[in-house]
Each structure stands twice: as structure tokens, then as C-alpha cells.
Amino acid sequence: DLFTYLMPNPAHSQVLVSSSYGLQSIQIFTIGGVLLEQHSANGISTTLDVANLSKGIYIVRIVTPSGSAVKRLIVNIKKKNKI
């Protein structure tokens, strides 16, 4: 899987995407295959803001110079503390 990682997973507001082969682009799809977000990336890691995504399961396509990998991302809503 090209040594690609999504951390943390499940995520609440941000997710770190990394690959030891380097990153070129990252796409986030609904489980039904609808493209929601597309990001260009350089280096071996980047942080994505997923706070705007609804709670659920998403498909993340990570493109590297050596190929692409597909990962499942779970987004949970962070509970607010009651006062």
C-alpha cells in the first residue's frame, strides 16, 4: 500500500496523511464515490482539515510518485463539554 498512513483514524477535526514515497495529491470521496475534496501535496506528509465533513466513512485516494493507495477514513464529531 505504498507505506501510506492516515492518523488519527477515526478523526475529529484533522488528519495527518503521510507516505514514505512522498505525496502528490489527496482526494476525499463519499462512500458512494462522489469527489468532495482534492488537495495537492508536497513532501512526505500533510495535515488535512476534516472538521467540515459530516460524521461518517469516507474514501481517501493518496497519489504518490510511485502510484496510488486507497484508504478508508472514519470521521467522528467531537463532543462538546457541557458546562
- Centroid of chain to Cα 63: 12
pTM exceeds 0.85: yes
Q: What is the pLDDT of residue 46?
A: 95
pLDDT-derived band at 77, boundaries 50, 70, 90: confident
Q: Using CA atoms, how far apart are residues 69 and 3, in angstroms rounded to an integer?
A: 9
Q: How confident is the model at residue 81 (pLDDT cuts 50, 70, 90)?
A: low
Burial degree of 4 (CB within 10 A; 0-12, 13-18, 19+): buried
The 10s digit of each residue's pLDDT in 44-61 is 999 999 999 999 999 999
